[in-house]
Amino acid sequence: MMAASIGKRLLAGLLVVVLGSALASSPLGAASSYTSGSAKQRQNEIRSQKKRIESKIRQLRREETSLSDQMRELDERAASLDLSLQQLNHDLKVKQDELETIKEELAEVKTELERRKRLVAERVTNIYMQGELTYLDLLFNAKDFREFINRAFYLNLIFEKDQELYDSVRIKKEEVARSKLEMESAITEIASDRDKLQEQNLEISRVREEKSALLRTISRDKVLAERQIRELEEESKRITRFLQSLTGGYTGKWTSKFLKPCSGRITSPYGWRIHPITKRRQFHTGIDIAAPYRTPIKAGGDGKVVYVGRRGGYGNTVIIDHGGGLATLYGHCSGFAVSNGTIVKAGQVIAYVGSTGMSTGNHVHFEVRRNGHHVDPMSVM
């Protein structure tokens, strides 16, 4: 019981942590509320959350299967106990009927014993009231010695028979009384066994109800987690469509390697890192190139400028569509050299290095996306 209660609390706590964090960070508004940077960060968060929730769903399914198996075992035990209870109730009824028969027999024996006692008492009383002469008269009035001996023999035989009958009835009474005690003991034992089985049955019913309640909770949590997965997938699709909408309209197709947007040292590569400002482990979706303030930033390839403006943590940002599903992003600019719709050539100046947005110093954040999904810029440069 305690283990089940603890399991329920742990389960509820884990689910609150997983689903609560997902719900708290799951914006369900229009995709246009994202910036390019926040959209990519959100995509990474969604992937991480999906993994956690999918893992939790697998755990819930395992627990659901385990509880279902336990419920089946409890049902089988309950069915077995029901059969045992039925047998014990039958045995108890048989013994109680036998006890009633014994009681009736004991009552009859007691009645017979009392009758025999009265007969003997009456005979003794008569002898006493009439005196010993009556008995002696009966003997000495015999015609001869032979008749005397016969009369003495039969009188003695009468007394012996009285005693035998009395003793036999007494013994019978004792035997019936012992049978009654044995039967009562057997009934008590059967009743005790029945009570124990009933207690076990009640305990099984209680445990089954606890597990049934926990199973219902797990089923509800699983449904909630599966719904959250669907919501995250829908949000991910909206983000992808938004990112894909940032590219388009360019009729050409860049197939060469991208140029490095400016000279300088790469201070932060593509991949997981500790964010220099938030100090949290986050996925870096591009590369950072350190360069002096106002250093020209050049287009990585031929294309069309589809966005010029401020983008949240990226600060001043330029996005270029290169056709074929490829796009590049240049963040933290101090100023712009192009505008929306400008057709640019590889190496053409499009902006200037700065430190706008979430930045700790002058640099350009360079990002490459293929069909809306970020890729390592070093793999295409």
Q: Is residue 213 a contact partner of residue 100, using CB atoms and an 8 Å limit?
A: no
Pick from 246, 353, 258, 339: which is nearest to 296 by CA?
353
Q: Is residue 296 a contact partner of residue 352, using CB atoms and an 8 Å limit?
A: yes
Fold for the domain defined by 1-245: Helix Hairpins (1.10.287)
Q: How many CB atoms lie within 10 A of CB 53?
A: 21
Q: What CA dihedral angle connects 172, 176, 177 and 183, to 10 degrees?
A: 160
Give me the residue label for tokens 């949240």: 312
Distance separating alpha carbons of residues 242 and 303, to the nearest angstrom: 19
Average pLDDT, the chain: 76
Q: For residue 214, what are the contacts with CB-CB under 8 A and spacing of at least 6? A: 4, 7, 8, 11, 67
The reply to whether 265-379 shares the fold of 1-245 is: no
Q: Is residue 65 a contact partner of residue 269, using CB atoms and an 8 Å limit?
A: no
pLDDT at 121: 64
- Whether the pLDDT of residue 265 is over 70: the answer is yes
Q: What is the mean pLDDT of residues 300-322?
A: 90
Over residues 329-379, the pLDDT tens digits come to: 999 999 999 999 899 999 999 999 999 988 889 999 999 998 878 899 999
Q: Is residue 18 a contact partner of residue 225, using CB atoms and an 8 Å limit?
A: yes
Give me the residue label for tokens 């469509």: 241
Pick from 279, 378, 293, 296: which is nearest to 337 by CA?
296
Structural domain boundaries in the chain: 1-245, 265-379
- Whether the pLDDT of residue 236 is over 70: the answer is no
Q: What is the mean pLDDT of residues 68-85?
A: 81
Q: Is residue 363 a contact partner of residue 267, using CB atoms and an 8 Å limit?
A: yes
Q: How many CB atoms lie within 10 A of CB 315?
A: 19
Q: What CA dihedral angle connects 308, 310, 315 and 318, to 10 degrees?
A: -10
**Domain 265-379's class?**
mainly beta
Q: How many CB atoms lie within 10 A of CB 314?
A: 26
pLDDT band at 142 (very low <50, low <70, confident <90, very high): low
With H, G, I as helix, E, B as strand and everything else as coil, classify residue 258. Answer: coil
pLDDT band at 22 (very low <50, low <70, confident <90, very high): very low
Whether this model's pTM surpasses 0.75: no
With H, G, I as helix, E, B as strand and everything else as coil, classify residue 302. Answer: coil
